[in-house]
Amino acid sequence: MTAMAPTRIPRRFLPVVATFAVFVLTFGAGSVRYEGFASGQVVANLFIDNAHLIVLAVGMTFVILTGGIDLSVGSVLALSTMIAAATLQAGWPVWLSVLAVLASGSTLGLLMGLVIHHFQVQPFIVTLAGMFLARGLCFLISVESVSIKDPAFRAAATDTIGLGGGVVITYAVVVALLVLVAGAYVLHLTRFGRTVYAVGGSESSARLMGLATGRAKVGVYVVSGFCSALGGLLFGLYMLSGYGLHAVGMELDVIAAVVIGGTLLAGGVGYVAGSLVGVLVLGTVQTLISFEGTLSSWWTKIVIGVLLLAFIALQRLIVRRGPGT
């Protein structure tokens, strides 16, 4: 009787496994150091406080899988909160306001994708322009914070869902998890998703295979724009206001979460589940600093920077050794 060979983790899964290990270690350290840290509500709060970031990370995962980048997500989120707040203040019904927000974000994503594809401009430059455009449009609507007072919107923001044991989540968490599942389905079980991976692996090879590479390159920015707008709605639920200075620098947090979650910046490798774990790592670091009480919030940026450098180094090692199985 021959002995079974030990199961080897495929190389492409190593960054995700490493991210999950970091999450377990950081959360475990908090559980040992702080009383009450390991409670179910603290875990639930990780999702509640970062529901918008999860949605943005799903959209960013699509973009980075093609080898692109989207620097506009934070500004589009802020613009979405402003559109929602201004339209609701003007008396629009909630459903119409939501449609206007989602259409605006998707349209901005479509325009950026078309410029990137048809004019062969670097995504960094195009989305940087989109970032300034969206942020400027915020202040055309209002230079002041606009409070959201619509009763239906406020009810959706404050209502909770009980999970038992005194643990509750908000409807924003449900939306974020549905987006995560939808993103995983599209990437792994549709032709569009397979084309996204193929473009990130080798766009020229994907084109020779007859895949619709142009449609995929434009489509990922539409997805990112839609997710940014939806994330803006969730952030609006969280803050109950629209403001042009919301989410300044959030695009960097999203990129960090996706990269820490195992998506290669070169494209072709990554999973939305890994991006979720990346967001949870960032949320856990913030929670640890909050529980400590004596540390500056800037320590969050320092820790994230160290983790980001470590995971980029890990990605380089994986790329140099080849894809593996």
Query: Does a structural domain hold residue 272?
Result: yes
What is the domain-level CATH number for residue 80? 1.10.3470
Q: Select from 232, 244, 225 the least CA-distant residue to 108.
A: 225
Q: What per-residue confidence (pLDDT) applies to 325?
A: 42
Q: What per-residue confidence (pLDDT) applies to 290?
A: 86
Q: What per-residue confidence (pLDDT) applies to 111?
A: 98
Query: Total domain count for the chain?
Result: 1
pLDDT tens digit string along 104-132? 999 999 999 999 999 999 999 999 999 99
Query: Does a structural domain hold residue 11?
Result: no
Angle at 127 (CA atoms; ends 124, 129), nearest 5 degrees: 105
Query: Does a structural domain hold residue 229?
Result: yes
Please say whether the beta carbons of 292 and 35 come within 8 A: no
- CA–CA separation, 240 vs 233, rounded Å? 10
B/e letters for 248-268, b = 16+ CB within 10 Å, e = fewer, are eebbbbbbbbbbbbbbbbebb
Query: Does a structural domain hold residue 3?
Result: no
Q: Spell out, as residue ranges, where the chain has pLDDT lower than 50.
A: 1, 5, 323-325
Query: Does a structural domain hold residue 8?
Result: no
Query: Does a structural domain hold residue 258?
Result: yes
Query: Does a structural domain hold residue 230?
Result: yes
Query: Does a structural domain hold residue 33?
Result: no
Please say whether the beta carbons of 257 and 132 come within 8 A: no
Q: What per-residue confidence (pLDDT) applies to 319?
A: 64
Domain that residue 180 falls in = 16-21+39-318
pTM assigned to the model: 0.94
Q: Rounded to a whole number, what is the distance in angstroms from the first to the last CA of the chain? A: 26
